[in-house]
């Protein structure tokens, strides 16, 4: 239990979290990079559910190439009323040691979160399209001393 007043779950930040709930599937387009010179496409599938009465959104993400799972990630997103920002804690099969959470806000209908780690910075952008039936996810990265570069763009449809 926390000592403060109960959050207003009808407020815009918690509405953002509820919009993610469901199963999403679509195409991940991965940009060429030194560790993946050709880039390519894969099928992405994300399942999101709420915990603690809607305070947290739990993301379970897999990526498949030719029907074989090649990537798996898990995220916990929440709203921090104290800091007036969203936070996403992310853990995946390629993270040697997870960094701190990505943090950010709704910027004109685009939820933008940024984090930094020893590997550089990451920027996630989430945009709901078609009255919430579709989700666009953009992931950019910036190596130390560099500029933002596209890493992956995904377009998902809500299938459940």
What's the pTM? 0.91
Residue 96 lies in a domain: yes
Which domain range does residue 72 map to? 12-158
Residue 1 lies in a domain: no
What CATH number has the domain bearing residue 82? 2.40.128.20
Q: Which of 57, 107, 68, 81 is nearest to 5 (CA)?
A: 81
| Neighbour tally for 144: CB within 10 Å | 9
Per-residue pLDDT of the chain (160 residues), as tens digits, is: 456 778 888 999 999 999 999 999 999 999 998 777 889 999 999 999 999 999 999 999 999 999 999 999 999 999 999 999 999 999 988 776 667 899 999 999 999 999 987 778 999 999 999 999 999 999 999 988 889 999 999 999 999 9
**For residue 134, what are the β-bridge partners?**
129, 157
Is 141 inside a domain boundary?
yes
Whether residue 2 is contained in a domain is answered as no
7: in domain: no
Q: 5 in a domain, yes or no?
A: no
How many domains would you assign to the chain?
1
Residue 30 lies in a domain: yes
Residue 131 maps to a domain: yes
Cβ(122)–Cβ(110) below 8 Å? no
């Amino acid at each position: 239990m926390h000592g403060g007043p109960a959050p207003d779950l009808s407020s815009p930040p918690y509405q953002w979290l509820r919009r993610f709930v469901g199963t999403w599937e679509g195409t991940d387009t991965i940009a060429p990079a030194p560790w993946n010179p050709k880039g390519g496409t894969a099928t992405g599938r994300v399942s999101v559910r709420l915990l603690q009465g809607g305070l947290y959104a739990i993301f379970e993400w897999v990526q498949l190439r030719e029907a074989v799972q090649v990537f798996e990630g898990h995220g916990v997103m929440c709203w921090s009323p104290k800091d007036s920002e969203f936070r996403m804690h992310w853990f995946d099969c390629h993270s040697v040691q997870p960094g701190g959470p990505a943090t950010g806000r709704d910027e004109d209908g685009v939820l933008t979160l940024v984090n930094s780690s020893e590997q550089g910075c990451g920027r996630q952008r989430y945009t709901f399209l078609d009255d919430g039936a579709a989700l666009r996810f953009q992931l950019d990265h910036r190596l130390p001393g560099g500029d933002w570069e596209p890493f992956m763009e995904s377009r998902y449809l809500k299938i459940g």
